[in-house]
Structure 1
Amino acid sequence: MRKRSQPWIQRKSRFIIAAIAALGAVITAYLAITAFADVSAACPTEGCDKVLSSPYAVVFGLPLALFGFLAYVAMGVFAVAPWLINPETKKSQRRTVEDWTWRFLLIGSVAMGVFSAYLMYIMVFEIQSFCLYCLASAICALALLGLTLAGQHWEDIGQVIFTGIIVAFITFVGSLAIYSPIHSPTAETETSSGYAISTTSTPDSIALAQHLRERGIKMYGAFWCDFCQRQKELFGREAAEELDYVECDENGVNPNPAACQAAGIQSYPSWEIDGELQRGLIPLNELADLSGYTGSRDFQAN
């Protein structure tokens, strides 16, 4: 009896899974680097900043993209692991590794697919903005799930379905638990007004903020913008209250989106200094230089 030929998708599945995992790792690595470097990701849409600066983009105090990068790396390792074993001399060992890595690929792809779907829901219905990088990562995660299911001849389909349901349930419940603090009454109050500033201003940082206001220098931002929060943290709580701050998101406190639109604001934070826009988080010494501040410069907030 002639042996049934193996479908091409099953012959090439591990290679394709490794390639997609590599692409996902590149995307998430870039987002993690930009997060650690405190810079905005290059994106054709403004929504990227809103999504990547939202509280949903941080898990356990670290960028969510970092965990995505580790997940993609793990999937890539599971995909290529059998290739590291010589099939001629260690055939039995290679077969064992293939079996176990398929199980890990199944568990990992289901978890990543469910979590990515949940994040897409958050992006569309909670944050209400579009992030090209997030969408690309979600497509990669769902592609890994599809390839894992179609790329292997699963002998016990019932076991695959049972495993998938259990992993999906745990992932979904875990996702709700991770982000539950964001939906608490305290967090919802903070979200609309910006998070409380934890640092204390020095007399010099207060003097700089007063100088900026006197010069008519404005800071444009949004309550959800992580970089805006960090900019205020540099000033400290007392000095930040002296700033001429313009809230650009209509859902924030005392918003003035019309002023932001008239000023041509495209990213947050943005500073309007002498009729010119300076974009991004700016160190206080640099703000002092740009504004002509001549006082002392002990700006280190505590």
Structure 2
Amino acid sequence: MLLKSFTSSNRLLSVPRPSSRKVAGLTPSSKCRANASEDGRSLLGDIPYTAVSAISSIGLLETSYLTQVKLFGAPLVCPSNGCEEILSSSYSYIFGLPLSLFGMLTYGGVAALAAWASQKREEVHQDSGPLELADKGLMAGASVLASCSAVLIYILKTEFYGESCSWCYLSASLSSTLFILVIGGLLGSKRLRAAAMPGAGAFVLGLAVLFTGFADVGQSNAEISELAYYKPDVTSESSKRAISLAQRLKDSGAKMYGAFWCSHCFDQKQTFGKKAMTDFPYVECFPTGWRRGERIADVCEAAGVRAFPTWVINGRTVEGDLSLDALEQELGMPP
């Protein structure tokens, strides 16, 4: 009886043998993916290294082109009105070197590092060290690009009111996308904590370098806080075609919105000539002069003016100075 009781209790305490049956839907590889965050993977997946490398390569091409323009005097192609003035200003240099050169080096480093990390991705389960190192570098690179773009867009909006710069907006879009992809790919993982310090340091470093390098530029620009209104003197001769076109524009209700200090507006007036400008549908957006922080005239704001000059022809808004051919086309005149 005692022996029977012992063997019965022994069966109750015995450790069950591992089952050789597979649980449906749960394989070793799927279990690893389910616990990805414990292995250093993001809860949202991972950094899309290939996409990061591709976007950085676009930034590399853009900044390489702008650097070539600066260093070798290559012609600058501006998709929008105003980028020539912005990209040739004092803000386009830092410590005596083209700002685009630093962008080129940073984009190039991020592109190469992301391409290398993409090849190393398959080794993450054996050794996550290489990817953690890449994450730190990518976080630092994306952070410094994002911080610099934020400062430059702020300068564009405050120091170059009414001007547009397609190259600047492109770079800002690329750097913002890179930052979102990198931080989003690490969100919720241990690797984010490891990469946070280099990223924060690079962000602050980017701001410090720009503010230090632009200190003299900001002081010189701060001296100009007001411009008294003056009427630019149009000196070119008007052709019969220009005079006729000016009258047609006026009769159609077209308007050209501009600013007295805008060089592109003056160029547009010179295209028509002195006589055509005597009865021209021009609207001045700063009729009492320019003062820092002052808004444009109500009539210009109501027309949605964001750059100078701005044409409104047949209900359509067109930015930039236009040729006579382009204006005739906007009016619907036969070629």
Aligned residue number for residue 146 of structure 1: 180
1: distance between equivalents of 2:204 and 2:74?
Answer: 35
| TM-score (structure 2 length as normaliser) | 0.52
Name the larger-Rg structure. 2
Aligned residue number for residue 147 of structure 2: 114
* 2:157 alignment partner, one of 90, 107, 124: 124
After superposition, the C-alpha distances for 1:248-270 in whole angstroms (9 at most, x for unaligned) are 9855xxx98875332139xxxxx
Aligned residue number for residue 206 of structure 2: 171
After superposition, the C-alpha distances for 1:77-113 in whole angstroms (9 at most, x for unaligned) are 111223556967x954xx3221101001111111110
2: distance between equivalents of 1:160 and 1:47?
Answer: 39
Instruction: Tell me if 1:99 matches 2:128.
Output: no
**CA distance 1:79–1:182, change in 2 (3 Å):** same
* Displacement after TM superposition at 1:162 (Å): 5.0
1: distance between equivalents of 2:209 and 2:173?
Answer: 21
Aligned partner of residue 41 in structure 1, secondary structure: coil
Contact 1:11 1:151 in 2 (8 A): yes
After superposition, the C-alpha distances for 1:17-52 in whole angstroms (9 at most, x for unaligned) are 001001111111111122223244212322110111
Gapped runs of 5+ residues in structure 1?
Answer: 193-215, 218-247, 266-302
1: distance between equivalents of 2:183 and 2:209?
Answer: 23
Gapped runs of 5+ residues in structure 2?
Answer: 1-25, 37-41, 227-234, 237-257, 273-335
Aligned partner of residue 33 in structure 2, secondary structure: coil
2: distance between equivalents of 1:54 and 1:150?
Answer: 35
1: distance between equivalents of 2:118 and 2:266?
Answer: 59
Aligned residue number for residue 4 of structure 1: 33
2: distance between equivalents of 1:164 and 1:136?
Answer: 22
Aligned partner of residue 151 in structure 1, secondary structure: helix
* Displacement after TM superposition at 1:123 (Å): 0.9
| Counterpart mapping for 1:1-302 below 5 A | 2-4=31-33, 10=45, 13-83=48-118, 91-92=126-127, 95-128=128-161, 129-152=163-186, 154-155=189-190, 160-185=195-220, 250-251=260-261, 260-264=267-271
After superposition, the C-alpha distances for 1:183-233 in whole angstroms (9 at most, x for unaligned) are 224x656999xxxxxxxxxxxxxxxxxxxxxxx99xxxxxxxxxxxxxxxx
Amino acid of the structure 2 residue aligned with 1:262: K
* Displacement after TM superposition at 1:132 (Å): 0.6
After superposition, the CA RMSD in angstroms is 3.7
Amino acid of the structure 2 residue aligned with 1:43: C
| TM-score (structure 1 length as normaliser) | 0.57
**CA distance 1:250–1:39, change in 2 (3 Å):** farther
Which piece of structure 1 moves more, 3-12 or 54-63? 3-12
